[in-house]
Amino acid sequence: MRLPLLLLLLLLVLSPSPQAKAAEPEFPLTEDSKPRADVPKGEMIKDTYTSAGDIFPGTQREYQLYIPHGLDRSKPVAFMVFQDGVIYQAPVVFDNLIARKDIPPLIGVFIKPGVVPAANENALPRFNRSYEYDSIADNYSRFLIEEFLPAIEKKHGIKLSTDPNDAAISGNSSGGIAAFMVAWHHPDRFRRVFTGVGTYVGIHGGDRLPVLVRKLEPKPIRIFLQSGTGDNNLYCGDWWMANQMMERSFSWAGYEVNHAWGEGGHNGKHATQIFPDVLRWLWKDWQTNEEIKANAKGESKWKGYEVLVEGHSWTEVPASGGPFRWEHMVANSKGNVIAWGTSAPEWTFVEFDTKGKSRKLDLPVEAPRAVVWTHDDTMVVLSGNPNKRKLVLFKVGADGKAAKWAEGIGGYPDNMVMTHDGTLYCSDGTWLAGVKPSGEVFDATGIMDVHISSLALSPDQTQLYTISSSVSGAADAWKIQGDGKVSDRQHGFYQLEGGGYASNPCVDQEGRFYTATGEGVEVCDQAGRVNFIIATPEPPGCICFGGKDLSELFIACGDKIYKRPMKVRGVVSGQMPPIKPAAPKL
């Protein structure tokens, strides 16, 4: 009996505690990561850079360049950017894989995060790493593309290719999310990405990315992810779970994604071990003319493909570029789009027809501010001189003559909507005015300071949707009563992803709600949920449906207007009878 008891005690002593952390596995390097005497070596250049721009002012940073053996500096060359300096044994791996032609001869750019030097010996420097790397904003990508890379090209006499298929970017931890965000914001410059133990957690918004990857229009990016069961699990999130969520989102959205999961911790050991194979995968087609494309296999589940015509993107509307910013757009039932913007001291109105022609509209009223059409194709023009605080509504007949319809609207409204029965709504940002077909002006809400900046009607014309000028990133829904007044306001019925500005909404005939935001065109279903976000060339200011059969979506971005073909049809205010859309689904 004594022997079994002694064995039991021995087992208890030698057994690991349930709370003991398992030892991290070893990740031995392969021969591809070890120097070889028979392989030509690239040149390493060390230098420093002090920011001359206004994105990260006052920052200083170290960087190194890898120049491949025999580089012809007169020609554009492929390149790969690394955050946090030299990592993953990259220079050695480059030597070996370039010699075997597994990857193209490329320049390595190893850049460290910025530091603002301490004011004196008793002060700390400002360490910019988290500010630059962990943010999902485009500050770091702009710094890299607009400031840093051009500066080192000029200083070192190199030419980095401007073909995004020739550019890769990588990083570990916070450097990983930084690398991905550069490609995310600028797939026109970077399309090959590797992230090791990427910080896709809630530090500066990274926890939003698994959802945004699903909602935003798929981008032409090839990405490899690495993480492990021993990765960080901190106040801001679980790295191991976050990386798996990112991989699932990429797969769902149709990205070309690969991954390596292991049992390692929050370090670069596993990533360094697999780096040669990662490079082979990222650059597998480098000797062909094949481009990295969005949804190349057609397997994306992105909901935007329900409304967009695949294979088509935004095209600039001819003659839309002007010396001023387009502020508003509407269309009539013919599909002609009227856009207007400020051209001091008055607004300028331009009509773009369905055949690609444009003309300036000389409206027969003083100081026109907005237009809309009635069901019988009569144009309604809001007129008023802001200096006189007097606004009048005119109806312009087929003969081009204007007849006063209503007056007494205060403030400075510059957009309006109309129902098929002739009731008009407009807002100056503080109150919502209604105008009956008789021309009688009434307070549509009975509420002062409603803070409405722009309007849209539901397809069935029983609800009024309003963008709030006081609550960012949200739109409200109101019920239109029989007398024209609105009630039952639902604050934030449409809660938008961007969280910033939103403006100039419109709807399609199936009931989707479209609005311009800093993220692009956000599209909600009738239940108020953002289903998808359409990427735009620049942040849009206003949107509307137009073109033949109202089958094109128009956006105004600053002084330019773009359009894109759609599978769905839009709704124009005033001219179309109510349309009952189908009920929303999951």
Can you give the C-alpha Rg of the chain in angstroms?
A: 29
Q: Tell me, what DSSP letter sits at residue 349?
A: E
CA distance 313 to 438: 44
pLDDT band at 187; cut points 50, 70, 90: very high
Q: pLDDT at position 320, please?
A: 72
Cβ atoms 476, 486 nearer than 8 A: no
Q: pLDDT at position 8, please?
A: 52
Q: Tell me, what DSSP letter sits at residue 135?
A: B
- CB-based contacts of 497, cutoff 8 Å, min separation 6: 208, 211, 212, 215, 473, 517, 519, 522, 530, 533
Q: pLDDT at position 509, please?
A: 97
| Other Cβ atoms within 10 Å of 35 Cβ, number | 11
Helix (H, G, I), strand (E, B) or coil at 13: helix
Distances in whole angstroms, Cα of residue 297 to Cα of each of 301, 367, 414? 11, 53, 45
Classified by CATH at the fold level, domain 304-565 comes out as Neuraminidase (2.120.10)
Strands (E), 458-566: 463-468, 474-480, 486-495, 502-507, 513-517, 520-524, 530-534, 542-546, 552-557, 560-565
CA distance 386 to 409: 12
| Other Cβ atoms within 10 Å of 196 Cβ, number | 31
Joined tokens for residue 68: 């491949």
Beta bridge partners of residue 418, listed in sequence order: 424
Angle at alpha carbon of residue 251, lines to 246 and 255, rounded to 5°:
95
Q: pLDDT at position 585, please?
A: 79
Joined tokens for residue 518: 């800093």
| pLDDT tens for each residue of 537-561 | 999 999 999 999 999 999 999 999 9
| pLDDT tens for each residue of 247-292 | 999 999 999 999 999 999 999 999 999 999 999 999 999 999 899 9
- Does 304-565 match 32-286 at the fold level? no
CA distance 199 to 133: 9
Cβ atoms 552, 563 nearer than 8 A: yes
Cβ atoms 496, 474 nearer than 8 A: yes
pLDDT higher than threshold 60 for residue 10: no
Q: Order of strands, edge to edge, in the sheet holding 326-331?
A: 326-331, 337-343, 346-352, 358-361
| Other Cβ atoms within 10 Å of 434 Cβ, number | 21
Q: pLDDT at position 211, please?
A: 97
Q: Tell me, what DSSP letter sits at residue 356?
A: S
Helix (H, G, I), strand (E, B) or coil at 193: strand
* Torsion angle of the four alpha carbons 445, 447, 453, 458, in this order, in degrees rounded to the nearest 10: -30
Phi, psi of 375 (to 5 degrees): -65, -20
pLDDT higher than threshold 90 for residue 17: no
CA neighbours closer than 13 Å in the CB half-sphere of residue 333: 12
Residue position matching structure tokens 């490899």: 224
Q: pLDDT at position 310, please?
A: 87
Over residues 426-455, mean pLDDT: 85
Q: pLDDT at position 453, please?
A: 80
Q: pLDDT at position 49, please?
A: 98
Over residues 166-180, mean pLDDT: 99
Q: pLDDT at position 317, please?
A: 94
- CA torsion sign, 123 to 127 to 128 to 131? negative
Q: Which CATH number fits domain 32-286: 3.40.50.1820, 3.60.60.10, 3.40.50.300, 3.10.450.50?
A: 3.40.50.1820
pLDDT higher than threshold 70 for residue 298: yes
Over residues 510-539, mean pLDDT: 93
Measured in whole angstroms, how far is the alpha carbon of residue 501 from the centre of its chain? 13
pLDDT band at 4; cut points 50, 70, 90: low
| pLDDT tens for each residue of 494-505 | 878 765 678 889
CA distance 169 to 84: 12
101 Ramachandran zone, left/alpha/beta (phi>0; psi -120 to 50): left
Cβ atoms 253, 300 nearer than 8 A: yes
What residue spans define the domains of the chain? 32-286, 304-565
Q: pLDDT at position 546, please?
A: 98
| pLDDT tens for each residue of 317-348 | 987 776 778 989 999 999 999 999 876 567 88
Q: pLDDT at position 1, please?
A: 47
Over residues 559-586, mean pLDDT: 93
Residue position matching structure tokens 């722009």: 454
| pLDDT tens for each residue of 457-489 | 999 999 999 987 666 678 899 999 999 999 999
| pLDDT tens for each residue of 84-116 | 999 999 999 999 999 999 999 999 999 999 999
Average pLDDT score over the chain: 92
pTM of the model: 0.91
What share of the chain has pLDDT > 90, as a percent? 78
| pLDDT tens for each residue of 158-172 | 999 999 999 999 999
CA distance 326 to 341: 4
Phi, psi of 309 (to 5 degrees): -85, 115
